[in-house]
Amino acid sequence: MAEAVKESGKPIVVTAGLLGQPLINGFITEESLADNSLRKSESTALALAGEGSNISVIRLPPSVHDKGDKGFVPFIIAQARKNGVSAYPAEEKNWSAVHRLDAARAFRLAVEKGARGAVYNAVGDSSIPLREIAALIGEKLNLPVQALSEEELANHFEWLSRFMAFEGSATGTRTREALNWEPMHPGLLEDMKENYFNS
């Protein structure tokens, strides 16, 4: 695919994630680039862009939310139900989020006007404390809310515990400016109240 777009100039937009990127002044920005990124898709795409292919990257937050979400947040809710407690890391951690429809529009704009080799952060909510997510889950499920140590997190969250350990605050200021993109749909906590506890 990269060879094809190298000759045609047509764009490819590659998906990557925000978690695990280095922080700049407390946030993951478009300039946050890891030497050994967890996201092979990102490093591969940027290398191919450097060779002339018209490739850009959109990074997604840990929560891309909307009705019917099958990602991290529904799993956190399921673990609260399973374990009888709504938990969060004792060491303060925050996540960013974006509504699915806002993310979709970011991809469209990146195809239409993205720059070769650009990295875009599709961020709606920049920084939501995981304790606030846990508090909302506890309220909706009538469960106690509890901060857990690193060892306890592994037991409660299982495979997700390694993702809970990352600081996920992020900004997308340059993305908004470059793509003329502005999130228009509800934030994560509002969306959770509306759509995540109906079953």
Predicted confidence (pLDDT) per residue in 84-140, tens digit = 999 999 999 999 999 999 999 999 999 999 999 999 999 999 999 999 999 999 999
pTM, full prediction: 0.94
d(CA 59, CA 160): 19
Query: What's the pLDDT score for residue 199?
Result: 61
Q: What residues in the chain have per-residue pLDDT under 70? A: 35-38, 199
180 dihedral zone (left: phi>0; alpha: psi -120 to 50; beta): left
Question: Are the beta carbons of 48 and 2 closer than 8 angstroms?
Answer: yes
pLDDT at 36: 63
Residue 40: predicted pLDDT: 86
2-181 belongs to which CATH class? Answer: alpha beta
Domain residue spans of the chain: 2-181
Beta carbons of 120 and 56 less than 8 angstroms apart = yes
Task: Quote the pLDDT of residue 180.
Answer: 97
Give, to the nearest 10 degrees, the angle between helix 130-141 and helix 188-195: 20
Q: Measure CA 128 to chain center.
A: 11
Q: For residue 189, report the phi and psi dihedrals to the nearest 5 degrees.
A: -65, -40
